[in-house]
């Protein structure tokens, strides 16, 4: 008889990862973040079970954009102050949160405030969780 093992969310331990956003592209960084939040990088991944990890993004203000996207991308057309350049200057955390949110399935979009922490500098208050630096260059 074939028994398929399905882990529950209590079975796998949730890790904390630190990702440095210095000189990283928004899109590539967001796909990596959404993969980790869903738990697709784990061996025991199952789409119906929540096995994702926690992520700390540092240096969010040093993220880079494509020149054409900065110039022409507008969040809410017709409303002043909604250009990507202005939103990025005000709060780069919002840009990263929005891109990650749109890459997640609709059922997991509520995970962003719970598992994703974004900071503009390299200082963060999560040293007690023993975060591991996630290596982007593979």
The domain locations on the chain are 16-133
Threshold 0.85, pTM exceeds: no
Q: How far apart are the first and last CA of the chain?
A: 39
Q: How many CB atoms lie within 10 A of CB 138?
A: 3
* Of 15-24, 27-36, 80-89, 101-110, the least confident: 80-89
Structure tokens at 11: 């079975």
Whether 7 shows a pLDDT value over 80: the answer reads no
For residues 71 and 107, the model is more confident at 107
CA 87 to chain CA centroid, Å, is 18
Question: How many angstroms separate the CA atoms of 27 and 66, rounded?
Answer: 10
Q: Give percent of the chain with pLDDT exceeding 90.
A: 41
Q: Domain 16-133 belongs to what topology?
A: Ribosomal Protein L13p; Chain: A; (3.90.1180)
């Amino acid at each position: 008889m074939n028994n398929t093992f399905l882990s529950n969310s209590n079975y796998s331990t949730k890790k904390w990862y630190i990702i440095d956003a210095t000189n990283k592209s928004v899109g590539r960084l967001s796909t990596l973040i959404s993969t980790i939040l869903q738990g697709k990088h784990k061996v025991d991944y199952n789409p119906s079970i929540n096995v994702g990890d926690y992520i700390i993004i540092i240096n969010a203000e040093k993220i880079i954009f494509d020149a054409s996207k900065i110039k022409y991308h507008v969040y809410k057309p017709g409303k002043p102050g909604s250009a990507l350049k202005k939103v990025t200057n005000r709060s780069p955390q919002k840009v990263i949160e929005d891109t990650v949110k749109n890459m997640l399935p609709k059922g997991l979009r509520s995970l962003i405030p719970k598992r994703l922490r974004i900071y503009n500098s390299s200082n963060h208050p999560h040293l007690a969780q023993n975060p591991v630096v996630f290596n982007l260059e593979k």
